[in-house]
């Protein structure tokens, strides 16, 4: 049994990861600034510390002696509607960088055996993601750096931070670059949700014969990895002797309109897609349409070569589970609204 700390375990991926690590018989301590909204704490950990990891005192309490593994997933993050509007740049950079600075230093100080850091595909340069049908996200393409968001720059900085602690202080680190992870028990409303959850919610809420709004022209591309496969890939990376950074994502690239159509088909309703972009978007929301890079797809060659495993679940299978969960959430919210106490 290992003693494990999951930072950001009150969030989407951290919650799923902590649950799996606990089920495997480990002692799991979570720290997050908020409770998990969709998991009961006993289900995912042995101990839940509610605290702000930008505070070094909290980090020194959470990372105590004899910790085998720290999984660092805490970050100020969200989907395109949060990280590409420009309105949250200062907080995203300050909060996430402060957490990572604290965690790297305290992990050395307390002699943590191994640290996992969750970076993002958002650190890849924009110039390689202009062609929606042919983006390049090979790990070796990271430099010269030019991420299109401050969120991406912070991730790149923190990758380098953990690698520097590895070189100078022998901190044993593993770094993954996640490509849009989705699934149940994740953010599905409120402005921080990513495209798969947003499409499922919009389709679940829409009336028969109506239309749903999809940002941009819908031809921008992405790939999406189901959360269980992400967790499996993280655990395998941690067991390997490869430091990374390495992509963890799916290579099944789709356009955002194709993703939206998948959610519509799962709803079983006759719903049309309405793409909203340019001045129409600005007039409605007061800021430029947050579309991010034009194309992005994971490149899994390095992961396969170094870890010897590959993700295999088709997008559709993950979307079936995600739509079903979000549909339940939408139904329960509308029941509460129509039957207030
Ligand atoms: P999430 O927002 O659900 O989880 C992050 C958690 O960090 C949240 O629960 C949040 O409350 C916590 N947190 C934020 N600030 C904190 C603070 N000051 N102190 C303590 N806790 C704090 O996001 P997620 O989708 O689970 O992502 C997990 C990690 O993976 C993040 O680092 C994210 O940047 C990275 N990532 C995620 C994706 C994705 O598609 N989900 C893609 C690339 C990278
Ligand atoms: N969120 C959202 N909501 N996106 C929408 C919507 C909507 O209603 N409609 C269309 N989109 C478009 C966005 O404009 C963007 O072009 C695309 O769908 C994907 O949006 P997201 O899923 O929100 O984000 P992303 O893929 O650009 O970036 C995400 O993945 C990164 C890793 O690959 C974010 O979660 C980042 O935080 C993450 O690091």
pLDDT given for residue 341 in this prediction: 58
Q: Which domains are delineated in the chain?
A: 3-181+226-248 (3.40.50.720), 183-223+253-296+313-335 (3.90.25.10)
Ligand nearest to the CA of residue 250, numbered in listed order? 2
Ligand 1, pocket residues at CB < 6 Å: 8, 10-14, 32-34, 52-54, 73-77, 95, 99, 118, 120, 178, 180-181, 187, 194
pLDDT given for residue 340 in this prediction: 62
Q: HSE (CB half, 13 Å, CA atoms) of 209?
A: 0
pLDDT tens string 315-331: 999 999 999 999 999 99
pLDDT given for residue 230 in this prediction: 98
pLDDT tens string 211-255: 999 999 999 999 999 999 999 999 999 999 999 999 999 999 999
pLDDT given for residue 232 in this prediction: 98
Q: Kindly list the catalytic residues.
A: 151
Q: How far does the centroid of ligand 1 lie from the alpha carbon of residue 10, in Å?
A: 9
Instruction: Report the residue among 180, 220, 280 best suited for mutation to probe ligand 2: largest number of ligand atoms under 8 A from its CB.
Output: 180
Q: What is the CA radius of gyration of the chain?
A: 20
Residues of the chain short of pLDDT 70, as ranges, are 340-341
- Strand segments (E) across 211-271: 211-215, 221-222, 225-226, 246-248, 254-255
pLDDT given for residue 241 in this prediction: 97
Q: How far does the centroid of ligand 1 lie from the alpha carbon of residue 200, in Å?
A: 21
Q: Considering only CA atoms, which of 15, 18, 16 is closest in space to residue 5?
A: 18
98 Cα nearest atom in ligand 1: 18
Ligand nearest to the CA of residue 137, numbered in listed order? 2
84 Cα nearest atom in ligand 2: 27
pLDDT given for residue 335 in this prediction: 73
What's the predicted TM-score (pTM) here? 0.97
Evaluate whether ipTM surpasses 0.95. yes
Q: What angle do CA 83, 88, 89 make, to 5 degrees?
A: 80
- Ligand 2 within 6 A of 179 CB? yes
């Amino acid at each position: 049994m290992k003693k494990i700390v999951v930072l950001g375990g009150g969030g989407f991926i951290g919650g799923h990861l902590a649950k799996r690590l606990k089920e495997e018989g480990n002692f799991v301590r979570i720290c997050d600034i908020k409770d998990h909204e969709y998991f009961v704490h006993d289900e995912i950990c042995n101990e839940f510390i509610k605290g702000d990891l930008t505070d070094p005192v909290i980090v020194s309490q959470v990372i105590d002696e004899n910790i085998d593994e720290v999984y660092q997933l805490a970050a100020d993050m969200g989907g395109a509607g949060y990280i590409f509007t420009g309105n949250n740049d200062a907080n995203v950079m300050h909060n996430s960088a402060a957490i990572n600075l604290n965690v790297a230093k305290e992990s050395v100080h307390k002699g943590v055996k191994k640290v996992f850091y969750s970076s993002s595909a958002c650190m890849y340069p924009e110039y390689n993601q202009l062609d929606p049908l042919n983006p390049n996200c090979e790990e070796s393409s990271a430099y010269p750096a030019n991420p299109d968001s401050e969120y991406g720059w912070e991730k790149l900085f923190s990758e380098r931070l953990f690698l520097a602690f590895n070189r100078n202080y022998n901190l044993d680190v593993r770094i993954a670059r996640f490509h849009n992870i989705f699934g149940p028990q994740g953010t599905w409303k409120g402005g921080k949700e990513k495209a798969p959850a947003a499409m499922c919610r919009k389709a679940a809420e829409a009336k028969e014969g109506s239309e749903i709004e999809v940002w941009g022209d819908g031809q921008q591309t992405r790939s999406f990895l189901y959360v269980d496969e992400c967790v499996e890939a993280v655990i395998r990376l941690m067991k390997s002797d490869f430091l990374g950074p390495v992509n963890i994502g799916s290579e099944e690239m789709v356009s955002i309109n194709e993703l939206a159509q998948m959610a519509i088909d799962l709803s079983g309703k006759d719903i049309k897609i309405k793409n909203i972009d340019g001045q129409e978007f600005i007039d409605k929301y007061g800021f430029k349409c947050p579309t991010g890079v034009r194309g992005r797809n994971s490149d899994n060659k390095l992961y396969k070569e170094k870890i010897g495993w590959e993700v295999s679940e088709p997008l559709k299978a993950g979307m079936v589970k995600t739509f079903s969960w979000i549909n339940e959430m939408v139904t329960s919210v509308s029941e509460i609204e129509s039957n207030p106490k």
